[in-house]
Amino acid sequence: MAKKDKKIIKNICIVINPSSGQTSIIKRIEEIILLLAVKGIRANYTISTSKTDLITLSKQAAQSGLYDLLVAVGGDGTLRDVLTSVVGYDIPVSVIPAGTGNVFAKEMKIPFHSKKWVKMITRAKRCKVDGGLVNGSYFIMMAGVGFDAFTVKNTESLGIKKIFGKISYIAGFLKSISEYSYPPLQIEVDDTIHDSGYGVIISNTSRYGVYFSLNPAALCNDGFLDCVIYRQRGIFGFLGLFITAYFAFLGAGKKVKLRGNIRRYRCKKIKITSENKHLPVQIDGDLSGVLPAEISVSKHSFEMMLPSKTVKRLMASQKKIVL
């Protein structure tokens, strides 16, 4: 839900991902700080040295009571870590996109250009956003088990992501084609529906990666997750998902629509198991342990500042679903 702003933003803490702390990013942040100053908004930045440091700095900023807004500088993983670190604190979070994919920023229409970002943040609205949980770890966009998670594992093992960015996933993808064996998965939905398949993707937002939208009707503030199961074994089953899923029907509640070898569920809980106990799980394009996986929605767990048009769209779409 949208939340009435308690106070005007006057003080901002900007926390920078260590891998985003390059000279070009620092220049961009300093430009933003100067533009904010013209608007009467004070801002300062700090560069974290590690993921642990990023979380610590975010918590300290939230606990201090000195700031009206916490801004993450980085990609989807950085935003997730900052949001997770301040759950329960009365401080909203935004993001300056500076990561590999920046998928969440693109979906929420958060600008990349400095002047446009400053204009956006001065008009932004506070909004509660759902989170997803995989065995207790938060995700903001999606989680996956199957070929996509195996590709994430291979990409990270190559150690080239920081150098080549999203192009590195191509190398992980090609490596996975010859290595992944597609063990069957057992899926339990909302404690009542039992299904099976060879891959599962659970969405909190509509986008999967930069160029795909598996669940066009998925909303990050509706209190539900959108689950897609592909039931055809092999690489063509996975590729078929991206061809078919976009056009498939998204049913309301637990209603499922069959389209070829794809099933869809709108749900609040999913449990995924397999005889292969070493299958990886990915969240927002990062590894997050192995099976079994218990996945659930955490309704309105995050406080964010989002573009006013985005908040209006989310609220309007949510009303349509309720009706």
Contact (CB, 8 A) for 38 and 66: no
Under 8 Å CB-to-CB from 235, ≥6 apart: which residues?
147, 177
Of 16-30, 45-59, 120-134, which gets the smallest average pLDDT? 16-30
**CATH T-level assignment (fold) for domain 2-123:** Rossmann fold (3.40.50)
Mean pLDDT of 220-227: 95
Name the average pLDDT for the chain.
89
278 vs 186: CA distance, rounded Å? 14
Domain boundaries, the chain: 2-123, 137-299
User: What Cα–Cα distance (Å) separates residue 41 from each residue in 29, 45, 59, 134, 181?
Assistant: 14, 13, 21, 37, 54
State the pLDDT at residue 240: 79
State the pLDDT at residue 231: 93
The pLDDT confidence band at residue 254, using thresholds 50, 70 and 90, is: very low
Mean pLDDT of 78-86: 97
The pLDDT confidence band at residue 301, using thresholds 50, 70 and 90, is: very high
Over pLDDT 90: what percentage of the chain? 73
Mean pLDDT of 174-197: 96
Q: Which three-class secondary structure state does DSSP give residue 1?
A: coil
Q: Which three-class secondary structure state does DSSP give residue 286?
A: strand
Cis ω for the linkage preceding 92 (within 30 of 0): no
Nearest C-alpha neighbor of 245 from the set 282, 208, 288, 198: 208
Burial class (CB in 10 A: 0-12, 13-18, 19+), 206: buried
The pLDDT confidence band at residue 255, using thresholds 50, 70 and 90, is: very low
Mean pLDDT of 128-149: 97
Of 99-108, 130-139, 150-159, 212-221, which gets the smallest average pLDDT? 212-221
The pLDDT confidence band at residue 248, using thresholds 50, 70 and 90, is: very low
2 vs 310: CA distance, rounded Å? 11
Q: Rg of the chain over CA atoms, in angstroms?
A: 20
The pLDDT confidence band at residue 86, using thresholds 50, 70 and 90, is: very high
**CATH T-level assignment (fold) for domain 137-299:** Tumour Suppressor Smad4 (2.60.200)
| Angle between helix 23-38 and helix 114-123 axes, rounded to 10 deg | 50
The total of other beta-carbon atoms located within 10 Å of residue 212's CB is: 13
State the pLDDT at residue 213: 76
State the pLDDT at residue 211: 63
274 — phi, psi (to 5°)? Answer: -160, 155
According to DSSP, residue 259 is labeled B
